[in-house]
Structures are given as structure tokens and as C-alpha cells.
Amino acid sequence: MANQDRPNGLKPHGDLLRQQPYIAAGVIGIGDALVLEDAGRVAAPTGGAGSVFSAALCGVALTSAAAAGDTVKVADHPDQLFSAQVDDAGVAAQTDLGLNYALIATAASAGESRQEVDGSSGATEATQILRVIRLDKSVKDNEFGSQAKVVLRINNHQQSVGTGSAGV
């Protein structure tokens, strides 16, 4: 059975380790991976559908923000696990787990993220922002291949020391 194609950003997986309020720099959807900007505000990485992001992240939006200046709750603990969808068949086998991946944007939807793991970016470089750990077994009929739902962590986190860990 094929996996359902429903990108919805990153969602906390397991216990929520920490949430903090931040001020939004602009529109943010629930599940958007966020960067902390120079002015101390958070923003979703910029770019339209198909844009690949590889900058360090500070966390993931738990609430949405309609405009700059709104408060948004962010899961910002460096050890937080998340669940997300892979955009293509790049996570096709057990051997693709433990690799690091970039984030890709798809068409936006009001209030909810459409970010996905960029399956074609799997590599061992420590600078890739996401580390895929395993398939998300909490999702029914989830299997390796296109639109697989995976458990991951932010590998290149703005609140961690260093760039991130090399994939295996």
C-alpha cells in the first residue's frame, strides 16, 4: 500500500521537552521549522514551493502566527524528536536511516506548514539540518519509499554547540 501524501511540517514526537514563546518575524504555520533571526524574532525559512533549506534551525512552531509581532510557541529543545513526511522515495530502505537531510517547502496552506524532508538530499555531512532516525511506527501502514513518515531530530540546531553530527 502506498503512503498517503500529506505534508504537514514537523510535529513533536514523544514527550514535548520544552516550549518557549517567541515573537514572529512574519507569517508562520503550525509545524514550520524556524530560524532565529538577528533581531531575536523567529521566521520560517524563506522561499517558495520547492525551495531547499539548509540553515541551522532553532525549533518548530507549535502555534501559528498571522503577522509579524505575533507570539508563537516553539518546541526549541535541541534533543526534541519530530515526525515529518519525506517528499520522495529518498528514504527507501533501512540503510537511509541515520543520514542527514535538508528541508524542502511545498505549496503553502493557511495556518499549517507544508515543509517536508528532502529525500534526495541524504548525506553524511554534519551541516545538513535534519537527522532521520527511524520510520514513524505510530502512523498506520507507513513504509519506506515516497511520502514515508519518519522520526527525526534537528541536527544543526542554533542552540547547540557546533554544526551538527555527521550522518552514518
Identify any residues that bridge with 131 across adjacent strands, giving them in sequence order. 100, 153
Rounded average pLDDT over 29-57 = 83
pLDDT for the residue numbered 107: 60
Structural domain contains residue 116: yes
Tell me: pLDDT of 162 over 90: no
Q: Is 50 exposed, middle or buried (0-12, 13-18, 19+ CB in 10 A)?
A: exposed
Q: How confident is the model at residue 48 (pLDDT cuts 50, 70, 90)?
A: low
pLDDT for the residue numbered 108: 58
Structural domain contains residue 23: yes
Structural domain contains residue 73: yes
166/168 Cα distance (integer angstroms) = 7
Instruction: State the residue range of the domain holding 51.
Output: 11-154
Question: Considering only CA atoms, which of 96, 83, 93, 119 is closest in space to residue 168?
Answer: 96
Structural domain contains residue 167: no
Please give the tally of structural domains in the chain: 1
5/167 Cα distance (integer angstroms) = 26
pLDDT for the residue numbered 74: 97
